[in-house]
Amino acid sequence: MFRTTLPTAALALSIALLSATPIAAETFRWAGTTDPQTMDPHAVNAAPVLSFLNNVYEGLVRRGPDMNEEPSLATAWEALPDGAGWRFTLRQGVTFHDGAAFNADDVIFSYQRAASEASDVRSWFASVTDVVRVDDYTVDFLTSAPNPLFPGSIANFLIIDADWAVANGAELPARDAENFATRNANGTGPFVLAARDPGIETRLVPNAGWWDNAAHNVTEAVFTPIGNPATGLAALLSGEIDLISPIPLQDVAQVEGRAGFKVQAGLETRVIVLGFGHDHDTLKYSDETDANPFRDPRVRLAVAQAIDVDTIDRVIMRGAAEPASQLLPAGLSGYSDQHADRPAFDPDGAKTLLAEAGFADGFSFGLMCPNDRYINDEAVCRAVASMLARVGIDAKVNAMPVRGYWDELRAGNFDMYLLGWSPGTFDAEHPIRFLAHSRTERLGTWNFGGYSSARIDALLAPIQQEIDPNARQAMLDEAAGILQDDVAYVPLYTEPLIWAMKDSVNVVQRPDNFFMLRWVSVN
């Protein structure tokens, strides 16, 4: 679905947007559940912040409606010889919102700011050894090893005006106390930050001097965070706001049933998976704690076969999700087409596998689950538990708010857990780096169960460095195969994206759930 319909729809829509003559629109109001914590593009690496700030600031590279990389502040980029890094040719004649000219100094300053210890986005530059100014409009990013994915991996690296930041004492991102850049912004993007009232309202106005052709027809845009979903729905239905993202699945029918409103649903890039305590010697939440059955791949496969993902999709996700077979959704770069099948739903086969592994009588264990992080997360866990109960293993679901969840997982307090993963680089290397590689200080940091495969560990560096796409894909296929054979995780489904809006509003729903005002048109 993702692979075919989404980019096509997005493309069709963007063509429609470009060809239609924009009609003068009034203020566009939209709401989300979370307020961006800061207006500083380097202080917090979180989707609400980066999504919002991509309207105000711009990177060297940006992503189009179907996530394709396209030129932004850089007009072109090419790999330096011998994999020494990348050369970016910068766009000339671009000005920041305050009128200052954009050039290589701003890029170098922004790099130093974003790679500093006070920054939360410095992991993007882990491979960068130096940034060299070649001339006013050429910059070289030197990397310690060949890095074919580098341009795409810095699509959210937003460029801030050097002189403005220095003049206002915002040389570094705010670490404890706020600074000028926390509430003010000076980017090159299509919208200018006009007023910022944290937690209440943020106003944007179009940037008249934007270098690109504006495809939107918004004259002013106002963002309001509305935390309570029922309040958000009421605000939309009463006409006070034009768009809200996301809305709960159970409210979709309400919106669609009303004249003048519509729901736009797509697939996000987040895959929901089940993880196991691979390195646990015993089960922590079992009545029979003599061993950890999940160390046996047959038991893990039995779990995968016992879960009927289609039913979960139909009943709990109302058909909006898409069953997944790997740690990233189908259609993203590096996805392995050879391994597109997930284990078939086969409860009898699962029982046979459990018997072979010596657990014919079943066992009980603890399933950890967040209850406010993913769409209907707790309900999914309960459904999984009831499906596993049918093959004789008894999952005790422990659902908790996400604010304490990661702590519990890091402390190893689980036998099985639910996790959602959205690859920040939109490439298959990302989940391997964070979920599949053995746990170290910098790699495998979200591999809570301590899955470890020598071959996966050995494959990661070549995957990161291989320039030839075919050779790279071969390695990614191998890694996907290992993860499936080992049943390191049980991928369940790709999460849906559900936005609700007035009929008069046209938007492009990018799979990374970023809300880009430059594609909004209001009739």
Residue the block writes with tokens 């939209």 = 30
Restricting to residues 117-136, name those near other proteins by CB under 8 A. Answer: 117, 120-124, 126
Piece of the chain touching other proteins by CB under 8 A; list 15-23, 130-138, 232-240, 463-471: 232-240
β-partners of residue 340 are none
Q: What is the CA radius of gyration of the chain?
A: 24
At residue 396, the 3 state secondary structure works out as strand
Instruction: Report the Cα 147 to chain-centroid distance in Å.
Output: 21
- Minimal distance in Å, beta carbon 40 to other proteins? 9
Nearer to other proteins, 38 or 143 (CB): 38
- Choosing from 238, 344, 454, 470, the residue that interacts with other proteins (CB under 8 A) is 238
Whole-angstrom Cα distance, residue 129 to residue 318?
48
- Choosing from 166, 175, 314, 340, the residue that interacts with other proteins (CB under 8 A) is 175
- Minimal distance in Å, beta carbon 419 to other proteins? 11
Helices (H), 344-453: 347-356, 377-390, 402-410, 429-431
Terminal C-alpha separation, the chain: 28
Whole-angstrom Cα distance, residue 364 to residue 35?
41
- Minimal distance in Å, beta carbon 37 to other proteins? 5
- Choosing from 98, 130, 240, 356, the residue that interacts with other proteins (CB under 8 A) is 240
Restricting to residues 63-92, name those near other proteins by CB under 8 A. Answer: none
Nearer to other proteins, 169 or 239 (CB): 239
At residue 214, the 3 state secondary structure works out as coil
What is the DSSP secondary structure assignment for residue 64, as one 8-state letter?
-
Restricting to residues 180-209, name those near other proteins by CB under 8 A. Answer: 182, 198-201
Under the criterion CB under 8 A, does residue 24 sit at the interface with other proteins? no
At residue 206, the 3 state secondary structure works out as strand
Q: List CB contacts of 198: < 8 A, sequence separation 6 or more.
A: 35, 183
What would the x/- binding string for other proteins be over residues 325 to 364, using CB under 8 A?
----------------------------------------
Under the criterion CB under 8 A, does residue 43 sit at the interface with other proteins? yes
Whole-angstrom Cα distance, residue 169 to residue 239?
41
Total site size for other proteins, rule CB under 8 A:
49
Restricting to residues 396-425, name those near other proteins by CB under 8 A. Answer: 401, 403-407, 424
Q: Biggest alpha carbon distance in the chain?
A: 73
Binding site for other proteins (CB under 8 A): 35, 37-38, 43-46, 117, 120-124, 126, 174-178, 182, 198-201, 224-228, 230-231, 234-235, 237-240, 401, 403-407, 424, 434, 441-442, 445-446
